[in-house]
Amino acid sequence: MPTVQEIQRASPEEPLTMLTAYDAPTAAIVDAAGIDVILVGDSMGNAVLGYDSTLPVTMDEVVSHTAAVARAADEALVVGDMPFLSYGTSAETGIENAGRLLKEAGANAVKIESGPHTVELTDRLVDLGIPVMAHLGLTPQRRNQIGGYARQGTTEEAAAEIRDLAAKHEAAGAFSLVLEHVPDELAAEVTAELDIPVIGIGAGPETDGQVLVLTDVLGLSESVPPFAEEFGDVRTEMEDAVAAYRAAVEDGSFP
């Protein structure tokens, strides 16, 4: 398994690969494919739990899915995502919940949708031995405040704030940064400015690595964000298999 230190030292010549997974069978496939980092993202809300956003996802749900992934992953670094309001209300809440992901679920690190309010928390968690992956740019937990899922960092002021927060989270000890849905040039600048690896999603080709949501990659999601890519058509495979089963039972050819 790559350690947090190895991820931190990743070289730009060999881009880091990160994918989400939410259950044991898919985590085993992602792990066996040699993906460096498996993120048990709060994207599970839309991807597998049937919610229409990530906001309803609970800490218990993330713990349970992270544990399933951690049991199946032998090689990849497993990162558990901190859901909406599992941190930020008090330092104690954030520490306890991040601790659950390592103690109960077997994650190797946590990811936190970051902002000015998470710099101190990042510092505390790292002090306590909980590695933190920061997340800037589009942070979907703020959808009500930012009015949806639009590209972030598009004005000079907003770009400067992202660069500043990226530097502050690196200084606080974050071992990597996810940068979501920002202009390519901004992502390239942040990547050049930081020593820790920047893992992009909708952030262009100049970051140190890429992350996507597994159901998008598989072609299983009902809708896919503009910056994602489907690398398969698993939905059609599943539809065909289920239809074939039904037909076989109905026409008596199975069993």
List the catalytic residues.
Answer: 180
For residue 66 the two structure tokens come to 């992270």
Binding residue positions for 3-methyl-2-oxobutanoate: 42-43, 81, 111
The answer to whether 181 touches 135, Cβ cutoff 8 Å, is no
User: Does 178 participate in binding ligand KIV (rule CB under 6 A)?
Assistant: yes
Sign of the C-alpha dihedral computed for residues 52, 58, 62 and 67 taken in this order: negative
Closest CB to ligand KIV among residues 86, 249: 86
User: Does 81 participate in binding ligand KIV (rule CB under 6 A)?
Assistant: yes
Binding residue positions for Mg(2+): 42, 81, 113
Residues 6 or more apart whose Cβ sits within 8 Å of residue 64: 105
Q: How far is the CB of 45 from ligand KIV (least distance, A)?
A: 8
Among 121, 201, 203, 217, binds ligand KIV (CB under 6 A): 201
Sign of the C-alpha dihedral computed for residues 33, 74, 176 and 216 taken in this order: positive
For residue 110 the two structure tokens come to 């946590």
The answer to whether 59 touches 97, Cβ cutoff 8 Å, is yes
CA distances from 177 to 2, 123, 197, 253 (A): 16, 14, 6, 53
Closest CB to ligand KIV among residues 20, 26: 20
Angle between helices 119-127 and 91-103 (to 10 degrees): 50
Among 19, 82, 211, 220, binds ligand KIV (CB under 6 A): 211
- Of 24-32, 39-47, 163-171, 231-239, which part binds ligand KIV (CB under 6 A)? 39-47
Which residues, numbered 115-144, are part of the site for ligand KIV (CB under 6 A)?
135
User: Does 170 participate in binding ligand KIV (rule CB under 6 A)?
Assistant: no
Q: How far is the CB of 248 from ligand KIV (least distance, A)?
A: 36
User: Does 213 participate in binding ligand KIV (rule CB under 6 A)?
Assistant: yes
Cα–Cα distance between 62 and 45 in angstroms, integer?
10
The residues binding ligand KIV (CB under 6 A) are 20, 39, 41-43, 81, 135, 178, 180, 201, 211, 213
